[in-house]
């Protein structure tokens, strides 16, 4: 797929334009990626985050994923995860849920994703994580009872949704009183005010708002060589994957570097 065609796909799928088409496009993109990008050691699909002082410890087997894990570490750092019920919405290949399960000791963690093929792959490559299951479901219509979770995690997924306010209402519904919703994703600078309005569902109180774009660009730089090596093995998808992965020279990399695209982190607490 050429860079020009990829840009047109992103334009159709951008938040607020043709919401039903948007969800349809993203679901099929991720199904395609799961079918074609079969590497067992590639558990993450996010752009990553490298903090100014990356001090959290990882086991040797996870060091190669440090840049990607950083986005999850910043999301849950300081939250009372131990012994709690955790839901990740938009769990992708499951690396983030696996990290939380292995390093933060929740009582249970569910990884939910809209792409059936991605869920199947996540189950296959994350069998070593305790108290972790993966399920297929829609972020805008969660298949869980009210108050089912203590912490909801949503990382780099909401830009695929057709109805972000409906998603936020569902998060508020499935959170127990006093629970936490931790969110990270990117938007164009002009969409930030709208995003905060969309996430402000009844019952959710904003506790923290940060711009983490600098750390995301640092993670893209840190992962560049590994991504380029893998992209070089994709005979038919090199242009597509260069853009999709945020490699240097891509529209996303340039936008984040210039500040036209902003990567934000938000934390909300459920009232009560």
Asked if the model's pLDDT at residue 143 lies above 90, the reply is: yes
Mean pLDDT throughout 8-35?
51
Mean pLDDT throughout 140-168?
95
State how far the alpha carbon of 223 is from the alpha carbons of 26, 237, 246, 254, in Å. 23, 19, 10, 16
Q: pTM here?
A: 0.85
Residue ranges of E strands in 16-128? 85-89, 108-113
Mean pLDDT throughout 8-21?
50
Burial class (CB in 10 A: 0-12, 13-18, 19+), 202: exposed
CATH superfamily of 3-270: Vaccinia Virus protein VP39 (3.40.50.150)
Mean pLDDT throughout 121-150?
94
Torsion 171-185-130-142 (CA) sign: positive
**Which pLDDT does position 230 carry in this prediction?**
66
Residues whose CB is less than 8 angstroms from the CB of residue 98 and which lie 6 or more positions away in sequence, other chains included: 43, 126, 128, 129, 132
Q: Where are the domains of the chain?
A: 3-270
Measuring CA to CA, which residue among 161, 202, 206 is closest to residue 185?
A: 161
Torsion 28-136-16-20 (CA) sign: positive
Give the C-alpha separation, 27 to 211, whole Å. Answer: 27
Asked if the model's pLDDT at residue 240 lies above 80, the reply is: no
Mean pLDDT throughout 90-107?
96
**Which pLDDT does position 1 carry in this prediction?**
36
pLDDT tens per residue, range 130-140:
889 999 999 99
**Which pLDDT does position 113 carry in this prediction?**
95
**Which pLDDT does position 2 carry in this prediction?**
39
In three-state secondary structure terms, 84 is: coil
């Amino acid at each position: 797929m050429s860079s020009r065609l990829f840009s047109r796909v992103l334009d159709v799928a951008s938040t607020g334009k043709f919401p039903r088409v948007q969800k349809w496009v993203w679901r099929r993109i991720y199904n395609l990626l799961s079918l074609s990008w079969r590497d067992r050691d590639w558990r993450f699909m996010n752009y990553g985050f490298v903090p100014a002082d990356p001090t959290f410890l990882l086991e040797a087997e996870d060091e190669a994923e440090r840049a990607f894990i950083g986005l999850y570490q910043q999301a849950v750092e300081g939250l009372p995860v131990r012994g709690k019920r955790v839901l990740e919405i938009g769990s992708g290949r499951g690396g983030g849920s696996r990290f939380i399960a292995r390093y933060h000791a929740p009582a249970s963690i569910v990884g939910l994703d809209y792409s059936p093929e991605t869920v199947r792959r996540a189950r296959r490559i994350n069998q070593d994580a305790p108290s972790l299951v993966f399920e297929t479901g829609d972020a805008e219509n969660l298949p869980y009872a009210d108050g089912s979770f203590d912490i909801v995690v949503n990382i780099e997924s909401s830009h695929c949704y057709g109805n972000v306010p409906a998603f936020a209402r569902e998060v508020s519904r499935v959170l127990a009183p006093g629970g936490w919703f931790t969110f990270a994703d990117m938007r164009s600078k002009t969409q930030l005010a709208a995003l905060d309005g969309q996430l402000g569902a009844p019952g959710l109180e904003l506790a923290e708002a940060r711009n983490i774009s600098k750390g995301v660009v640092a993670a893209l730089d840190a992962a560049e060589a590994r991504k380029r090596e893998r992209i070089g093995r994709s005979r038919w998808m090199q242009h597509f994957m260069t853009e999709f992965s945020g490699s240097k020279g891509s529209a996303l990399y340039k936008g984040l570097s210039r500040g036209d695209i902003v990567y934000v982190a938000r934390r909300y607490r459920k009232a009560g």
